[in-house]
Amino acid sequence: MQCLRAEDLVSAESPRPREWRPQIHRKCTDTSWLLLFFLFWTGLMFIMGYSVMAGATGRLLFGYDSFGNVCGKKNSPVEGAPLSGQDMTLKKHVFFMNSCNLEVRDARLNSIVLCVSNCPEEQLDTLEEVRLFANSSGSFLCVYSLNSFQNPNADSLCPRLPVPPSKSFPLFNRCIPQTPECYSLFASVLINDVGTLHRILSGIMSARDTVLGLCVLALALSLAMMFTFRFISTLLVHIFIALVILGLLFVCGVLWWLYYDYTNDPSTELDTERENMKCLLGFALVSTVITGVLLVLIYVLRKRLKWTVELFHVTNKAISRSPFLLLQPLWTFTILVFFWVLWVAVLLSLGTAGAAQVVEGGQVEYKPLSGIRYMWWYHLLGLIWTSEFILACQQMTVAGAVVACYFNRNKNEPPDHPVLSSLSLLCCYHQGTVVKGSLLITVLRLPRILLGACNTLRGKRNAWSRCSSRCCACCFSCLDKSLRPLHQNAYTATAINGTAFCTSAKDALTMLSKNSSHLTSLNCLGDFIVFLAKVLVVCFTVFGGLMAFNYNRALQVWTIPLLLVAFFAYFVAHSFLSVFETVLDALLLCFVVDLETNDGSPAKPYFMDQEFLSFVKRRNSFSEVRAPRAGSSRTTEEGTELQPVAQ
């Protein structure tokens, strides 16, 4: 047997630190996680197909009568229901024959529901007036089987008299009674007894134009902030900080004013209005806490704002070498919007999935199918994981382009198509790494969502239970925030070394821990300014939503659409402005690797340009930046200049 040398034994016992080298030939990383993602999406495709086959979004959007006919559409007959299968193309409104005396008995309304052409805008006191209204407007307010008003059963087949004046409202296209006493009874029974999911979805759909307008506003504000950062100056920073402070204070004040207005409004009777009031109180408290914390942080960091301008000048110079980096958020946003629209469409279909059952009197009811609630949770998991995956792909692409431009000797001739090259490496080799990183973020978010759902479903609980659940949610949120930078550094390390996610995260953490905390403070300062930009986008969008939604208080759970709009605004702002965060994080990690590998001598010059080097020297002493590196000696072989190598 051949004897091992002593140095081989030493190397076998203590593995050498990784040599950071941009790889030319790579291999696929984390392939098992990519297979898991493929299997998960197979389940999502099954849910999509099932929702198309079993769902009926038209029932939710347009409303339906007691005989299974969707208003405003041509319907197919239901076996055993003789009045089903009618052509309701011209009858687009839902009319309740007993709208002033609605009751729910055994989870069923005591009133027959019809599809009509027009809602009666004036009170009808006699059966003759009902007949005249049908002749003049073409809107028949009696059961479809009634052939003549001379029928002795006409009183039971026509609406209960007097018929109150009503007006169509875009909530299931219902005819809403306009008299105060009928309106109060009608809304309290009908709206408060509709399922929670249907109430939320109806609030979204009835305010869909407002929601769409606010989403466009968030997109425009995000684009404006991105180009503001591209040409940032000291004056713009101070104006930007002033706008953030005013936006926070203004939104906080408007929320408290609306809550005060709700509590002192004597007409607040419906559960939807009470829910809006409770949500407003929660929004006001949360916004007050966030405003206080951000104002304190702005005051503490006010003297360091001058470094922000120089920091973003360095970042913008890196972006100028690959200007197509600014277009990354556009395709990311396009893919996200397409996925979200698809997700909402499937959710609407799942919310209306039910089997038609014929009950007494030839009426039709739709019973929810079994297993739908489990599909909702699976569908929600797909929303979070896929959204995080799309954002992680953007981070990986941007990091790869920055790495390609940084480790290039000739700064005047940047590499050809760095964004496309980075995207091709991602698609060919590192999709599994992105899947694994996005899944870890999703796993940290799921407990928070489950805790929130449990809090909602259990209702009133003791103070200890509420406090413990909120503490757990806070811990998961802090863990999520602390691990996100690690994910970005892991993607950058993968772009350099071509290693798997866990290996890249460990190597990046080890490399950054050897350097001074001053680099971390620089990174945190830049991330904080970008976060303030996201807050500014959300503030202006939420303010527009408050002003728009407040006009329809009674028949909308409008706090849910407002919360979704705020989430969308932050997500869009994050998609666009995260380019600067990603470039900054990647630059600092490349800078640390450059210091670790080279010493600035003619034999081993730095890859960084002089502007970046002078900025770091001005921020803190160059010797202090390299001080931690002196503690861990590296041999001459390990400290050789970075060169692309084949793996």
The two structure tokens encoding residue 523: 């990174």
Give the pLDDT of residue 180.
66
Mean pLDDT of the region 472-479:
75
The residue ranking higher by pLDDT, 102 or 89, is 89
Mean residue pLDDT across the chain: 76
Contact (Cβ atoms closer than 8 angstroms) between residue 186 and residue 96: yes
Give the pTM.
0.70
With cut-offs at 50, 70 and 90, classify the pLDDT of residue 172.
low
Q: Taking 50 as the threshold, does the pLDDT of residue 555 lie above it? A: no
Q: Comparing 37 with 233, which gets the higher pLDDT?
A: 37
- Give the pLDDT of residue 385: 92
CA separation for the pair 307, 324 (Å, rounded): 26
Please tell me which of 185-194, 243-252, 521-530 the model is most confident about, judged by mean pLDDT: 243-252
Could you write out the DSSP letters of every residue in 458-475?
Answer: H-S--HHHHHHHHHHHHH
Task: Please give the pLDDT value at position 431.
Answer: 92
Residue 646 has pLDDT above 50, yes or no: no
Which pLDDT score is estimated for 433?
Answer: 93
Predicted local distance difference test score (pLDDT) of residue 393 = 92
| Pairwise CA distance, residues 607 & 604, whole Å | 9
Look up residue 381 and give its two tokens: 């998991």
Q: What is the pLDDT of residue 380?
A: 87
Residue 370 to residue 377: CA distance in whole angstroms: 14
Beta carbons of 432 and 29 less than 8 angstroms apart? yes
**Strand order, beta sheet including 113-116:** 113-116, 93-96, 174-177, 166-169
**C-alpha dist (Å) from residue 24 to 237, 398, 430:** 41, 18, 14
Mean pLDDT, rounded, for 229-254: 78
- Assess whether pLDDT exceeds 70 at residue 223: yes
Q: What is the mean pLDDT of residues 225-238?
A: 74
- The model's pLDDT over 487-509, given as tens digits with 9 standing for 90+, comes to 888 998 998 888 899 988 888 88
Q: Which of 1-5, 30-34, 149-153 has the highest mean pLDDT?
A: 30-34
Are the beta carbons of 535 and 548 closer than 8 angstroms? Answer: no
- The predicted pLDDT at position 24 comes to 63
| Rounded Cα–Cα distance for residues 423 and 336 (Å) | 17
Helix (H) or strand (E) holding 176: strand 174-177
How many Å apart are CA 526 and CA 315, to the nearest integer? 10
CA-based torsion, 208, 209, 214, 216: positive or negative: positive
Where residue 138 falls (left for φ over 0; alpha for ψ -120 to 50; beta otherwise) is left
Cα separation, 146 vs 140, in Å, equals 10
66-100: pLDDT as tens digits: 888 888 888 888 888 888 888 898 888 888 888 77
Angle at 231 between CA 228 and CA 233, to 5 degrees: 95
Q: Is the CB of residue 579 less than 8 Å from the CB of residue 551?
A: no
pLDDT tier, 644 (very low <50, low <70, confident <90, very high otherwise): very low
Choice among 180-184, 337-341, 468-472 with the minimum mean pLDDT: 180-184
Which of the four pLDDT bands, split at 50, 70 and 90, describes residue 554? very low
> Residue 461 has what pLDDT?
56
* pLDDT tens by residue, 383-419: 989 999 998 998 899 998 888 888 877 766 767 788 8
- Residue among 439, 491, 390 nearest 33 (CA): 439
* Contacts with 417 (C-beta within 8 Å, 6 or more apart), sequence order: none
Quote the pLDDT of residue 208.
66
Residue of 640, 634, 613 lying closest to 514 (CA atoms): 634
Q: Is the pLDDT of residue 38 over 90?
A: yes
- Residue 104's DSSP bridge partners are 109
As a whole number of Å, the end-to-end CA separation of the chain is: 31
Q: How many helices (H) and strands (E) in the chain?
A: 21, 8
pLDDT at 635 over 60: no
- Decide if pLDDT at 328 tops 80: yes
629 compared with 549, residue with greater pLDDT? 549
Question: What's the pLDDT tens digit per position in 573-624?
Answer: 887 888 888 888 888 888 888 877 777 777 777 777 777 777 766 665 544 4
527-539: average pLDDT = 83
